[in-house]
Structure 1
Amino acid sequence: MAMKHVLHSRFWLTFWFFSFAPMATSAAVFDDSVTYAFSSSAAKVFWPGGQFDEFHQQYAKKIVEFEVKDLDKERIIELDLDTVLLNQELTLTIDSRGAKSGIADFYSAEHNTYKAPQIVYEVAGQKRLLVASIDTFVARKDRKSKSKDAVVKAGSGVTTLLLFEFPSDIDLQQVKNSKLVLTTTDRQFGPSLLALNQLIYSAPALKVETSGIADKYILDKGIANDKAVFYADDFDDQDWLTGLKLTVGMTKPVWQNTGELEYVDHKDVRHFSGEPGKAVRMPFTTKQNLAGNLDYYFAKHAGREPEEAYFRYYTLLAPGSYVSGGGKLPGFGGTYNKAGWGGRANNGENGWSSRGAFYQSINAKNPLWGGRMPIGSYIYEVDTKNKYGKSIPWGHERSTLQPGKWVAIEQYLKLNTPGKSDGVLHVWIDGAKIYSRNNLHFRDTDKLKIEKIWLNFYFGGVAKPSKNFDMYIDNIVIASSYIGPVRQ
């Protein structure tokens, strides 16, 4: 019986059009690095609304229930897709519908393309066959992607995910008699009562919040004088007169630890404003970890240390960059040169930090995210067991920096009530809020405040970059209320 089914599967290939559609670059729900926590673990993008179960419960529409008996024999299962809403990208799942369901194993493309999950259909009188672009499964206990496994699993605590992409020249309205074809392995784990579902999800339009301080000032001109602004710098005033003033002591430099800043013309970095001016280059090299470090101390320059603040900056990851590992980006600090960085644990009374973070570049072969660099936060909360901070991805498609594209990153931090876990962190990318936390624990004493804005560009850890790459910063604003992106 098993051999008959194998021959039957191969017989289709002799007269049907066989389609290996590449993964589309439109907004698929997940990619082949999908896990229970991430719709893309490669891009550090979370499932919308939570983890997989919450997303699946909300957006999965049942098509049909079916049973896989525990026969331990290879066989073909066909499921009718006539009630499916056909899209260019069709996303199907298979999950358990029985309280005591076993787990069914089906072959994936990694085992044998001929036996992989596939859709057979008719269009314009011709029969066609479409192999899944992605066939994988997720489970609560698994943190790694299963897309390279030779089987896909469905049943108790395990859900199969399938992505099919119809060729662009197919008129979906003409598709008839479509069926999902699965081939079971010769080993099953109890009888399984399963459901075939369709995931129907469209990402909601992001609201861009433009009602911030920056909306009152075209290209940030004059924003430094706003009563809600602690400090602003667009790095444009770096001429010979400014240098002379600093030399003779007429002004005081605001940034500490500046070293030798390298200023670049806007035209050389295709600046987002399209206007003449300067930006600052932060060079990451294979010889060192630190690319740049600027500190703005509130007590020294604002006269007080706040307990909440907004901080916006523009950044560019240079075109063609490959980032071989993770590191730190600008954020907030209350280290007081005691704790909250470099393996100096936060015990609640000595120091904390909430810098940004970046991760390794996504493999260029990933058709959705290839070449991008995920970003997030690197936080030293109160933790007496772990002397290091923890890296937290922001988990949104916008929190993946595309080389060659300027983005505005704004962070709001409110310190927790001493001894409570009620600290707040919000993040906006280009004016759209993409991350929010309200349970952070930075301190157990009100002596710890927001000491500084920490413009830290650091690779690692310990390891150095395997290749040189550059980042750029510009249009920094520190304020007591929401800032928003630059008004063009």
Structure 2
Amino acid sequence: MSAKPILLAALACGVLHAGAEPMNLAASSKLPSGPGLAAAFSGDKGIGASKEVIFHDDFEEGDIGETWDETGNKHGKVLSFGQAGSGLGKRSLRVETHLGEDTGGGLTKWFESADTLFVRFYTRFDAGCDYVHHFVTLRANKSLQGKDRWSGFGGAGLKPDGEERFSTAIEPWGNWAKWAAPGRWNFYSYWHEMAVSKDGKYWGNSFVVPEAPLIPKEKWICVEFMLKHNTPGERDGEQAFWIDGQLLGHWTGINWRKSPALRANALTLETYITDRWTKNPVNVVSFDNVVIARSYVGPVGKP
């Protein structure tokens, strides 16, 4: 958990600019909740046939990372297949981190973007899982070609210039160990109008829902988040997240980018853990039923 500045002043209209506190509009939002496009596909079977779906992986077939582009699995000890939850098939992706030996690992997928993106996945925190430093991240790169496909990676502590990258991550946040691990859900975002931290650097800014319930362990959780691209240079971008089909956070007025070529086009599904707050030597998080889509996905369809 890096230093996470929460932006400083709120506007009644909910528009976000440099130095403004993100205002959560979930209570009055017109975004959908409950069942989504996944409701038509029992256990997500056949969901890839939907024209709204860009990518999906339920981990039921193939080797680890077979349909992804990058795999982080240090010494082959971090990633494996585990059991899935009820209604989620037979297999899930299991991420086991070992403090002092590795920082975890995961998978990255590059994809053709859309004006509005929805990312849905299921996750489960093992009973002994401690705080998680970084989690599931959506990154914008200049393009999908050559070095430009990596422009959205790295840059911790630096403010983007609006032309080369922005990112947002849905993460469990422990509020500097004030909340029981793994914490509460929040966004951790980098963009060119983000606020500076007290140390003069630009660490990801948090979009927090303090009243959200603590994240339970040993329970499969349906997590979904949305990013709407802004008109380049305008403050009409958005982001939102749902837990088990309930909209908990919605923020508008975000100027993600200056260039129309810069689009969110890479998803990293990972558990990244360091020893700053985490003390447990072994920490296990599981993932399942990942979907990237152009419209709201919602929880898996029931039989």
Distance in 2 between residues matched to 1:351 and 1:309, nearest whole Å: 16
Distance in 2 between residues matched to 1:407 and 1:219, nearest whole Å: 14
Q: Would the alpha carbon gap of residues 276 and 456 (structure 1) be closer, same or farther in structure 2, given more than 3 Å must change? A: closer
Q: Deviations over 1:237-257 (max 9, x none)?
A: 14xxx69xx9xxxxx633422
Q: Aligned residue for 2:188?
A: 378
Amino acid paired to 2:52: A
Aligned with 1:327: secondary structure? coil
Q: Aligned residue for 1:314?
A: 122
Amino acid paired to 1:452: A
Q: Aligned residue for 1:328?
A: 134
Picking from 287, 294, 313, the partner of 2:100 is 287
| 1:294 CA drift (Å) | 1.3
Distance in 1 between residues matched to 2:248 and 2:36, nearest whole Å: 16
| 1:215 CA drift (Å) | 0.5
Aligned with 1:215: secondary structure? helix
Amino acid paired to 1:397: A
Q: Aligned residue for 1:160?
A: none
Q: Would the alpha carbon gap of residues 439 and 284 (structure 1) be closer, same or farther in structure 2, given more than 3 Å must change? A: farther
| 1:216 CA drift (Å) | 0.1
Q: Would the alpha carbon gap of residues 419 and 371 (structure 1) be closer, same or farther in structure 2, given more than 3 Å must change? A: closer
Q: Aligned residue for 2:58?
A: 234
Distance in 1 between residues matched to 2:81 and 2:237, nearest whole Å: 36
Picking from 214, 221, 230, the partner of 2:38 is 214
Distance in 2 between residues matched to 1:372 and 1:453, nearest whole Å: 21
Amino acid paired to 2:138: F
Distance in 1 between residues matched to 2:246 and 2:32, nearest whole Å: 4
Q: Would the alpha carbon gap of residues 343 and 407 (structure 1) be closer, same or farther in structure 2, given more than 3 Å must change? A: same
Distance in 2 between residues matched to 1:411 and 1:376, nearest whole Å: 10
- Deviating 4+ runs (over 6 angstroms): none
Q: Would the aligned equivalents of 1:234 and 1:474 in 2 still touch at CA under 8 Å?
A: yes
Distance in 2 between residues matched to 1:486 and 1:381, nearest whole Å: 32
Q: Would the aligned equivalents of 1:340 and 1:352 in 2 still touch at CA under 8 Å?
A: no
Q: Would the aligned equivalents of 2:139 and 2:152 in 1 still touch at CA under 8 Å?
A: no
Aligned with 1:235: secondary structure? coil
Q: Determine which structure has greater relative contact order: mean sequence separation of CA pairs < 8 Å that are 6+ residues apart, divided by chain length.
A: 2
Q: Would the alpha carbon gap of residues 434 and 349 (structure 1) be closer, same or farther in structure 2, given more than 3 Å must change? A: same
Amino acid paired to 2:212: E
Superposition TM-score, scaled by structure 1 size: 0.48
1:62-211 maps to which residues of 2 (within 5 A)?
209-211=33-35
Aligned with 2:170: secondary structure? strand
Q: Deviations over 1:83-131 (max 9, x none)?
A: xxxxxxxxxxxxxxxxxxxxxxxxxxxxxxxxxxxxxxxxxxxxxxxxx
| 1:361 CA drift (Å) | 8.3
Q: Would the aligned equivalents of 2:185 and 2:212 in 1 still touch at CA under 8 Å?
A: no
1:400-411 maps to which residues of 2 (within 5 A)?
400-411=214-225
Q: Aligned residue for 1:264?
A: 82
Aligned with 1:219: secondary structure? coil
| 1:372 CA drift (Å) | 5.4
Q: Deviations over 1:126-167 (max 9, x none)?
A: xxxxxxxxxxxxxxxxxxxxxxxxxxxxxxxxxxxxxxxxxx
Q: Would the aligned equivalents of 2:176 and 2:277 in 1 still touch at CA under 8 Å?
A: no
Amino acid paired to 2:205: K
| 1:475 CA drift (Å) | 0.7
| 1:288 CA drift (Å) | 5.0
Q: Aligned residue for 2:261?
A: 447
- Is residue 487 of structure 1 aligned with residue 301 of structure 2? yes
Structure 2 residues not aligned, in runs of 5+: 1-9, 11-26, 142-148
Aligned with 1:316: secondary structure? strand
Q: Would the alpha carbon gap of residues 354 and 371 (structure 1) be closer, same or farther in structure 2, given more than 3 Å must change? A: closer
| 1:233 CA drift (Å) | 1.0
Amino acid paired to 2:98: T
Q: Would the alpha carbon gap of residues 452 and 469 (structure 1) be closer, same or farther in structure 2, given more than 3 Å must change? A: same
Q: Aligned residue for 1:16?
A: none
Distance in 1 between residues matched to 2:153 and 2:255, nearest whole Å: 13
| 1:454 CA drift (Å) | 2.1
Superposition TM-score, scaled by structure 2 size: 0.74
Amino acid paired to 1:329: F
Please state which structure has a larger fraction of its residues in helix. Answer: 1
1:357-396 maps to which residues of 2 (within 5 A)?
357-360=171-174, 373-383=183-193, 386-396=201-211
Q: Which structure is larger by alpha-carbon Rg, 1 or 2?
A: 1
Q: Would the aligned equivalents of 2:52 and 2:293 in 1 still touch at CA under 8 Å?
A: yes
Q: Aligned residue for 2:232?
A: 418
Aligned with 1:417: secondary structure? coil
Structure 1 residues not aligned, in runs of 5+: 1-50, 52-202, 247-251, 299-303
Q: Would the alpha carbon gap of residues 314 and 362 (structure 1) be closer, same or farther in structure 2, given more than 3 Å must change? A: farther
Q: Aligned residue for 2:23?
A: none
Aligned with 2:230: secondary structure? coil
| 1:447 CA drift (Å) | 1.4
Q: Would the alpha carbon gap of residues 349 and 328 (structure 1) be closer, same or farther in structure 2, given more than 3 Å must change? A: same
Distance in 2 between residues matched to 1:291 and 1:390, nearest whole Å: 23
| 1:282 CA drift (Å) | 1.4
Aligned with 2:48: secondary structure? helix
Distance in 1 between residues matched to 2:67 and 2:122, nearest whole Å: 21
Q: Would the aligned equivalents of 1:220 and 1:475 in 2 still touch at CA under 8 Å?
A: yes
Q: Would the alpha carbon gap of residues 297 and 376 (structure 1) be closer, same or farther in structure 2, given more than 3 Å must change? A: same
Aligned with 1:257: secondary structure? strand
Alpha-carbon RMSD across the aligned residues, in angstroms, is 3.0
| 1:450 CA drift (Å) | 1.2
